[in-house]
Amino acid sequence: MNSSRYRPSTFILEIAAVLLALVFLSPFYLVLTNSVKGLKEILVDAASFPKAVQWENYSKVWAAIDFPQAFWNSLQITILSVIFIVLFSSMAAYQIVRKPSRFNAFVFMLLISAMIIPFQSLMLQLVRVISMLELRGELYGIVACYLGFGMPLSVFLFHGFIKTVPYELEEAARVDGSNPYGVFFRIVFPLLLPIIVTVIILNTLWIWNDYLLPVLVIGGNKDLTTLPVAVTKFFGQYTKKWDLALAGLVMAITPILLFFLSLQNYIVEGVTAGSIKG
């Protein structure tokens, strides 16, 4: 089972695995080929290769969902949230590990326990809180939400990692006259790079793909509509118009697929590390 030699049985296994991989990929293939067909052609035969490539599907959808705007909104929300999650959660984890106290232990326990709370159990009251703070429909409102929801897992991951960073390094810097902030940002933070990558990847995938939170917190503000929300609205308006709907889908999944394919080793490792420690 664990053999490292290539035997005839390995070859058969390889064929089977490749066939299964093709089955895994087939939905992408069908969506892609049909996204450049006319509606009639899709309805007549969804499996055929497009007879004439119809790029207009894309230009129509591009304008209809205002793709550049939705893309920019998603990007902006994701990047801002991830930057502050990394910053605040690493600082908090550092404090919890290096200054152990009953209070800090309690905070850590609270963060960990909160991981089990499903989003649906908070969402209705959360919208209320966000409205009270007059943050509904604001960019900073949704970023604030991601910061709150992102803290537990991120603090937990940093916590586990910082425990392995030798304290002697910090002591040496302190002797040299650095204050605690200098020690953290100049000495400790750069050492956290591996776990920072994990935290960035886990949060990016989650925030970029998130649907319900933007719907609830952004509400009617069209200027902030994210990509998944824009596509959902579009689907609601164009049910059964598969030519346009599929082009919209391809446009929506392309950015995240490119992100994955270009960073796949980091992503697979990051996700694995995140869940094994989580």
Nearer to other proteins, 205 or 224 (CB): 205
Eight-state DSSP code of residue 50: P
CA distances from 190 to 110, 128, 145, 193, 198 (A): 27, 39, 27, 6, 14
Give the whole-angstrom CA distance, residue 178 versus residue 183: 6
The CB-of-96 to other proteins minimum distance in angstroms stands at 7
Q: According to CB under 8 A, which one of 36, 170, 210, 225 is a site residue for other proteins? A: 210
- By CB under 8 A, tell whether 224 contacts other proteins: no
- By CB under 8 A, tell whether 232 contacts other proteins: yes
Give the whole-angstrom CA distance, residue 188 versus residue 197: 15
Task: Tell me if 151 sits within 8 A of 89, measured CB to CB.
Answer: yes
- By CB under 8 A, tell whether 212 contacts other proteins: yes
- By CB under 8 A, tell whether 252 contacts other proteins: yes
- By CB under 8 A, tell whether 2 contacts other proteins: yes
The CB-of-21 to other proteins minimum distance in angstroms stands at 5
Per rule CB under 8 A, count of chain residues that contact other proteins: 98
- By CB under 8 A, tell whether 54 contacts other proteins: no
Task: Tell me if 206 sits within 8 A of 226, measured CB to CB.
Answer: no
Q: Which of 259, 202, 251 has the alpha carbon at shortest distance from 228?
A: 251
Place of tokens 């080929």: 33
The CB-of-137 to other proteins minimum distance in angstroms stands at 16
Choose the stretch contacting other proteins; rule: CB under 8 A; options: 53-61, 162-170, 175-183, 190-198.
Answer: 175-183
- By CB under 8 A, tell whether 244 contacts other proteins: no
Q: Please state at what angle helix 67-98 crosses helix 102-114, rounded to 10 degrees.
A: 150
Choose the stretch contacting other proteins; rule: CB under 8 A; options: 50-58, 59-67, 161-169, 201-209.
Answer: 201-209
